[in-house]
């Protein structure tokens, strides 16, 4: 099988195991390309991509831009803060105007959950969701899956705990869908107030004790506390959060086995993870970022194959 079952990447919920395997295998080839002295291939030289970021981003935005350059695509970048959205233009009008300039593919980050699905139903373009509110962040989950597979050989049967602010996290939801489709076991860990009430209906187990969760897992994915999405206080203080759910070197070194440490970024050093853990040889945080370029190259290359 060499093509995706979908025309857009809106979320991991909408793709199947074959799609995920195809993206990861294609990304493996692109990882070899970007480690060559000449990092560029002509694969998307006839494609134009618009990067629409309505919300802040460092990793995802730069990673998509670099992936487009490595594939020889033409790109245009759009920042909501300096656009006519500020004058009251709708999302659909904005995107249709950009598409009128012969753009083939749209990468969009938006603060509203469902924004990418909404757009895909209303405009004639390939849409890639680069994170929509607290809903999904599919390319983050794919690069996380790629990074785990690269380190552990497979995802099947591996135990992954996602720690922290699960309630406000698009990374958590996309990771849960992706890891489960690939045969991994997933637990979530964090303060009860930051665990969604019905999360167990997704086939995920809940562990409120961080040490027990870490003793169980092969990989710990430490999430950032998303203060910008929290309208009320979910725990007394960051200091208390960090005492109960922060990972420090003493705790990591006291575990009975060696686990991998991941973080999607941006890191709040000293809150969810201490610097000596983030920078330790068990951390694959920067490898996740490196792999993000190859994974995004694979996603755009495979979706472009469906442009006619």
Residue 12 — φ and ψ, nearest 5°?
A: -70, -25
Residue 133 — φ and ψ, nearest 5°?
A: 50, -135
CB of 197 to ligand CP, least distance (A): 25
**Which of 113, 265 has the CB closer to ligand CP?**
265
Task: At 38, list the tokens.
Answer: 């000449």
265 touches ligand CP (CB under 6 A): yes
Contact 186, 175 (CB under 8 A): yes
286 touches ligand CP (CB under 6 A): no
60 touches ligand CP (CB under 6 A): yes
Candidate ranges 41-49, 52-60, 87-95, 232-240; the one touching ligand CP (CB under 6 A): 52-60
Strand order in the sheet with 105-110: 74-79, 48-53, 105-110, 126-132
Draw the binding track, 93-132, toward ligand CP (x: CB under 6 A; -: no contact).
Answer: --------------------------------------x-
35 touches ligand CP (CB under 6 A): no
Among 28, 57, 77, 226, binds ligand CP (CB under 6 A): 57
58 touches ligand CP (CB under 6 A): yes
Q: What is the footprint of ligand CP within residues 233-252 (CB under 6 A)?
A: none
Q: Give the E-state strand segments of the chain in sequence order.
A: 48-53, 74-79, 105-110, 126-132, 159-163, 185-189, 205-206, 219-222, 260-262
Q: What is the largest CA-CA distance in the chain?
A: 58
Task: At 305, list the tokens.
Answer: 């194959």
3-state secondary structure 158-217: CEEEEECCCCCCHHHHHHHHHHHHCCCEEEEECCHHHCCCCHHHHCCEECCCHHHHHHHC
**Which of 9, 256, 262, 19 minimizes the C-alpha distance to 148?**
262
264 touches ligand CP (CB under 6 A): yes
Candidate ranges 71-79, 153-161, 175-183, 259-267; the one touching ligand CP (CB under 6 A): 259-267
Q: What is the DSSP letter of 283?
A: B
Q: What is the footprint of ligand CP within residues 136-195 (CB under 6 A)?
A: 137, 140
Candidate ranges 90-98, 150-158, 193-201, 258-266; the one touching ligand CP (CB under 6 A): 258-266
11 touches ligand CP (CB under 6 A): no
CB of 112 to ligand CP, least distance (A): 16
Contact residues: ligand CP, CB under 6 A: 57-60, 131, 137, 140, 264-266
């Amino acid at each position: 099988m060499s093509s995706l079952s979908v025309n857009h990447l809106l979320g991991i919920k909408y793709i199947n195991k074959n799609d995920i395997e195809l993206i990861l295998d294609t990304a493996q080839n692109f990882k070899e390309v970007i480690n060559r002295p000449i990092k560029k291939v002509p694969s998307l030289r006839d494609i134009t991509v618009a990067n629409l970021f309505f919300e802040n981003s460092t990793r995802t935005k730069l990673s998509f831009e670099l992936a487009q350059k490595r594939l020889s695509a033409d790109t245009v970048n759009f920042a909501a803060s300096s656009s006519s959205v500020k004058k009251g233009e709708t999302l659909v009008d904005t995107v249709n105007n950009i598409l009128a300039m012969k753009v083939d593919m749209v990468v969009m980050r938006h603060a509203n959950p469902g924004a990418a699905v909404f757009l895909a139903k209303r405009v004639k373009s390939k849409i890639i969701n680069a994170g929509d509110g607290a809903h999904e962040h599919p390319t983050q989950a794919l690069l996380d899956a790629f990074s785990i597979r690269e380190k552990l050989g497979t995802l099947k049967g591996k135990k992954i705990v996602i720690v922290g602010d699960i309630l406000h996290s698009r990374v958590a939801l996309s990771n849960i869908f992706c890891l489960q489709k690939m045969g991994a076991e997933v637990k979530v860990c964090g303060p009860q107030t930051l665990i969604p009430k019905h999360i167990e209906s997704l086939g995920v187990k809940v562990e409120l004790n961080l040490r027990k969760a870490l003793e169980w897992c092969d990989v710990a994915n430490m999430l950032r506390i998303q203060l910008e999405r929290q309208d009320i206080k979910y725990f007394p203080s960051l200091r208390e959060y960090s005492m109960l759910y922060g990972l420090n070197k003493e705790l990591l070194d006291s575990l009975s086995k060696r686990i991998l440490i991941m973080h999607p970024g941006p890191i709040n050093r000293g809150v969810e993870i201490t610097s000596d853990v983030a920078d330790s040889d068990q951390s694959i945080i920067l490898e996740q970022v490196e792999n993000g370029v190859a994974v995004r190259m694979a996603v755009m290359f495979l979706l472009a194959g469906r442009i006619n």
